[in-house]
Amino acid sequence: MGDNSSGIHLVNLTIKTTLRGQAEGLLLTGDKNILSHVTIMGSGDALQVNGSVFITDSLIVGDGDTILGRGPAFFNRTELQSNGVFMWIRNTSANHGNVFLDCTFRKRGAGTTELARAPMNNGRAYPYAEAVLINAKLEGVSPVGWGAMGGDTANMHYWEFNSTNVSDGKPIDVSQRKPESRQLTIEKDAETIANYNNPTYVLGWTPAMAPIILGLPEAVISEGGRSMTIRVKVAAIPDATYQWLDNGVPIQGASMWTLTIANAKRADASRYSVRVSNASGSATSDRAVVTGK
């Protein structure tokens, strides 16, 4: 639990509840919190967010209402797995709800489920409930897409843009989506789509985190020893830039998260390291190590 905690960065860890029923993996309240490369596993509400949070490159696994809360929450390149409805949204008009950019939604187990619901709860409605999916990949989501929407739906945002199938990358058939929901288009909604691509617009603050190298660069020798490919895993907001080094000297044009060296020997791996940078800082890795055979 992060209770009224602000400016917390959780990076490269797994949080899992051992309880069953209404047992969150993580409950967050507060402001300007960041989760990066985190796995959250809960029963019922895996993640409850009652304050602003930016979540990137993470995995959230739950049994239903997997994400609950009042937001705002911006999810980037994150995968959600759920036995039941993926989220129960309770934000008010005071802030945005849940926004997903380049995220994946997978139904666990047989059958299908819905993306979100906002039903009446003890006589209370959530008329400003918001879930916006931009470039989402979906698997096991029902044709109607969305669950219960209690009360007045005029100001609810159950919106999608460019949802595709996990299996083949083709556009989702949205012909049976709930009529209260909305499909955004470039022709009519270019400004809205651009706004919801922007964490600052959604959260009211700009997420930033200096690069953290999550382990040694790992080198893999190709079969037959014809080449060596080195990969590095980095947490950074915004995404880091890369500069690979050969014995500390920058390699011209080597500016991706991987580096491939032709005709390399196993011992060559120790020559290579990488410097990663963004506006908040930089870090340089130790030398690469060979993994596998």
Pairing of strands 59-62, 104-107: unpaired
Total count of domains within the chain: 2
pLDDT of residue 5: 85
Residue 280 CA to chain centroid, in angstroms? 21
Residue 203, C-beta contacts closer than 8 angstroms, at least 6 positions apart: 32, 52, 53, 54, 72, 74, 96
pLDDT of residue 64: 87
Residue 146, judged by CB atoms within 10 A of its CB (0-12, 13-18, 19+), counts as: buried
Residue 4 lies in a domain: no
Asked if 154 and 193 sit in the same domain, the reply is yes
- Per-residue CA distances from 289 to 115, 215, 221, 263 (Å): 42, 10, 11, 17
User: Could you read off the pLDDT of 137-184 as tens digits, one per residue?
Assistant: 999 999 999 999 988 999 999 999 999 999 999 999 999 999 999 999
pLDDT of residue 293: 56
Gyration radius from the chain CA atoms: 21
Domain of 108, in residue numbers: 9-203
What CATH number has the domain bearing residue 109? 2.160.20.10
Residue 82, C-beta contacts closer than 8 angstroms, at least 6 positions apart: 61, 62, 63, 64, 66, 105, 106, 107, 108, 113
Cβ atoms within 10 A of the Cβ of 127, count?
15
In this prediction the pTM is 0.95
Q: Tell me the C-alpha distance between 61 and 288, whole Å.
A: 32
Asked if 140 and 233 sit in the same domain, the reply is no
What CATH number has the domain bearing residue 267? 2.60.40.10
Residue after which a domain boundary falls, among 171, 203, 235: 203
Rama region for 78: left / alpha / beta (φ>0; ψ in -120 to 50; rest):
beta
User: Could you read off the pLDDT of 5-31 as tens digits, one per residue?
Assistant: 899 999 999 999 877 767 788 999 999
Asked if 196 and 280 sit in the same domain, the reply is no
Tokens of 119: 């039903």
Residue 103 lies in a domain: yes
